[in-house]
């Protein structure tokens, strides 16, 4: 019932002004010298892409989010935690991109996903990507997934309440092309930290979940 109530909340809430950049900024890396800022208007030459934030009910009765661990063989963002997603094809709508990429990467059919709407778009300067985050749900945790192993090495799930505990947010340093990146992150996987664009998108999901919880009190 808790899962269904949150889904019903989102069906209405996503049509109203979103937490947006205020929520995204809480998990934004600190990178100096960027020509374009992630929280400001993207350049005209930004390349559209989309991801799927899939919500499923957890065994304990809360809501969990499906995440992927990217393959170590990729040339960009290898070994990082992300949502299923990628570049949009010509003429493709964001939700179509998210569903197609999810099917290609993890074998989850669009028929098993109910799309709720969109979160706030996010520009990622290093890859010149304008990400349209699509949020949807599955009534049950997907099983029998078929991973495209040259892109995804693992699918795993994390419950939303974990992200809401401020003690779980840490600060780390990464070397990106000789530039030191200072970023907040969540330590949710033994092989990688959850930070960057994925964390910024998740931060908005957390803000919406906090609104939902406040409404239940």
pLDDT higher than 80, residue 36: no
The residue assigned the tokens 């990507």 is 129
The pLDDT tens digits for 67-124 are 999 886 655 556 789 999 999 999 999 999 999 999 999 999 999 999 999 999 999 8
Rounded distance, CA 22 to CA 201, Å? 11
pLDDT higher than 70, residue 217: no
Q: Tell me the whole-structure pTM to 2 decimals.
A: 0.93
Assigned architecture for domain 2-216: Alpha-Beta Complex (3.90)
State residue 61's pLDDT score.
80
State residue 30's pLDDT score.
82
The pLDDT tens digits for 169-185 are 999 987 776 777 889 99
**Among 47, 64, 85, residue whose Cα is nearest residue 2:** 64
Rounded distance, CA 175 to CA 84, Å? 24
Taken in order 113, 116, 122, 123, the sign of the CA dihedral is: positive
Task: Work out the angle at residue 10's Cα, subtended by the Cα atoms of residues 131 and 164, and round it to the nearest 5 degrees.
Answer: 75
Buried b (16+ CB within 10 A) or exposed e, 9-36: bbeebeeeebbebebbebbbbebeeeee
The pLDDT tens digits for 109-131 are 999 999 999 999 999 888 889 99
What mean pLDDT do residues 40-62 have? 91
SS3 51: strand
State residue 78's pLDDT score.
60
**8 A C-beta contact, residue 94 and residue 85:** no
pLDDT higher than 60, residue 35: no
């Amino acid at each position: 019932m808790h899962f269904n109530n949150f889904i019903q909340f989102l069906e209405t809430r996503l049509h109203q002004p979103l937490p947006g950049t205020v929520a995204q900024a809480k998990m934004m890396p600190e990178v100096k010298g960027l020509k374009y800022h992630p929280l400001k208007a993207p350049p005209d030459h930004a390349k559209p892409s989309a991801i799927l934030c899939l919500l499923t009910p957890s065994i304990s009765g809360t809501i969990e989010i499906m995440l992927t661990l990217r393959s170590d063989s990729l040339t960009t963002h290898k070994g990082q935690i992300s949502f299923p997603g990628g570049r949009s094809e010509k003429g493709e709508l964001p939700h179509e991109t998210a569903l197609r990429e999810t099917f290609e990467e993890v074998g989850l059919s669009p028929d098993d996903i109910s799309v709720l709407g969109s979160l706030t778009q996010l520009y990622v300067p290093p890859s010149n990507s304008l990400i349209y985050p699509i949020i949807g749900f599955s009534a049950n945790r997907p099983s029998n997934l078929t991973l495209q192993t040259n892109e995804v090495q693992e699918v795993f799930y994390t419950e939303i309440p974990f992200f809401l505990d401020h003690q779980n947010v840490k600060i780390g340093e990464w070397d990106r092309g000789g530039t030191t990146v200072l970023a907040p992150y969540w330590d949710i996987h033994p092989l990688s930290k959850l930070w960057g664009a994925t964390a910024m998108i998740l931060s908005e999901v957390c803000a919406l979940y906090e609104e939902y919880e406040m409404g239940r009190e």
